[in-house]
Amino acid sequence: MSSPLLRVRDLRVEFGAHTVVRGVSFELFAGETVGLVGESGSGKSTLARAILRLLKAVGGSVELLGLDLLKCPAATLREQRRGLQMVFQDPLASLNPRMTVGEAIAEPLKIFEPGLNANSRLGQVSAMLERVGLSAGMAGRYPHEFSGGQCQRIGIARAMILSPKLLICDEIVSSLDVSIQGQILNLLLDLQRETGMALLFISHNLAVVRHLSHRVLVMYLGKLVEMAPCEALFASPIHPYTRALLAAVPHIARDAEGAVARPLRAAPTLPAALAEPTQPAALAAPILPAAPAEASMTPRLMAAGCAFRDRCPYALPVCETSEPPLLEVAPGHWAACHRSHETLIPLSCAS
């Protein structure tokens, strides 16, 4: 395979005494879409921001085509940033309410191509508005005049105007209705096909990630616990956390004719999140009987051993003391679990 567009190595981010990203390494290739999933608080957004150096990382490296973004001087970083763009979760809050939509989309051009005259800038903005499914005539309007879906199109237009090499999408469809969600995702896929950019797609919606991604990264308490080609991750997840996450997705099955079948009645559930350390196993969760230990706190879980052990139904004594490394279990399929070589009973079928 060719050399990666982006190589993240052992990236660490700390907020005061808390380590939020604890040594994350992965690669991203041109034209590739990588999904990043995990619960809130797992460090997904922090990781994305650290990659763009919007947050300061305390260790590790982020190489864009061989250049370390974390160590390069400010001027170089500034020049590199035109190739790195981001679209945010809240479409309205990420647009300046006092700027017309046309001005917002033109601003990156003003900064990175100051030589461009007003007319050609306007031409590019109009073309980009049309490209994202809006009309050029809307350039003079303000963000509040648009719906959530339209604002997200504007956010995408602003990010795409400089033809980035890497676009990071942080929960960009979470606040949109399902009928609009598909329109935005398809637009993104079309733009990727046209430009060959790489996408880092952060989402808590596993179904969306499945349809979009080539590879998927699963994050838990600041670490990658599984990394696999999309098909493999959904067909044969290895890490117990990934399996529990998949089992918890409310589900509408489709049968051969494409009809929608009755969904699963009893969704298996995961014991309490670590944010709720003393909660016993949920009411109807016979499948994950492990009751998290009293007063288990995140720092204790991070200090030694596997951070998932308190919620894990398969935890062994070794999980208390030694942290499982991320190992390649099958070609391209990495997992950080002491029992990843065993065939474990799928969570959804147990009990």
Told to check if 3 binds another protein by CB under 8 A, we report no
**Angle in degrees, 0-180, between the axes of helices 148-160 and 178-195, rounded to the nearest 10:** 10
- Element of type H or E holding 101: helix 101-112
Asked if 337 touches another protein (CB under 8 A), the answer is: no
Considering only 24-32, 98-106, 171-179, 313-321, which stretch makes contact with another protein by CB under 8 A?
171-179
Q: Pick the binder of another protein from 210, 229, 296, 348 (CB under 8 A).
A: 210
- List the one residue from 33, 46, 269, 340 that touches another protein (CB under 8 A): 269
Query: Of 211-240, which residues contact another protein (CB under 8 A)?
Result: 211, 230-231, 234
CA distances in angstroms from 12 to 70, 72, 188, 346, listed in the order given:
12, 17, 29, 32
Q: Is 297 in the site for another protein (CB under 8 A)?
A: no
Residue 107 tokens read as: 């601003």
Sign of CA dihedral 48, 242, 302, 329: negative
Residue of the chain from 83, 182, 229, 346 that contacts another protein (CB under 8 A):
182
Secondary structure string (H, E, C) spanning 208-254: HHHHHCCEEEEEECCEEEEEEEHHHHHHCCCCHHHHHHHHHCCCCCE
Among 115, 179, 331, 349, binds another protein (CB under 8 A): 179
**Residue 300 binds another protein, judged by CB under 8 A:** no
Task: Indicate the residue type of 316.
Answer: L
Task: By CB under 8 A, tell whether 290 contacts another protein.
Answer: no
Nearest to 90 by CA among 139, 156, 151, 181: 151
Q: Quick one: tokens of 185?
A: 């995702």
Contact between 137 and another protein by CB under 8 A: the answer reads: no
Binding residue for another protein, selected from 80, 183, 298, 348, defined by CB under 8 A: 183
**Residue 263 in contact with another protein, rule: CB under 8 A:** yes
Binding site for another protein (CB under 8 A): 39-40, 147-149, 177-183, 185-186, 189, 204-208, 210-211, 230-231, 234, 244-254, 259-270, 272-273, 275-276, 278-280, 282-285
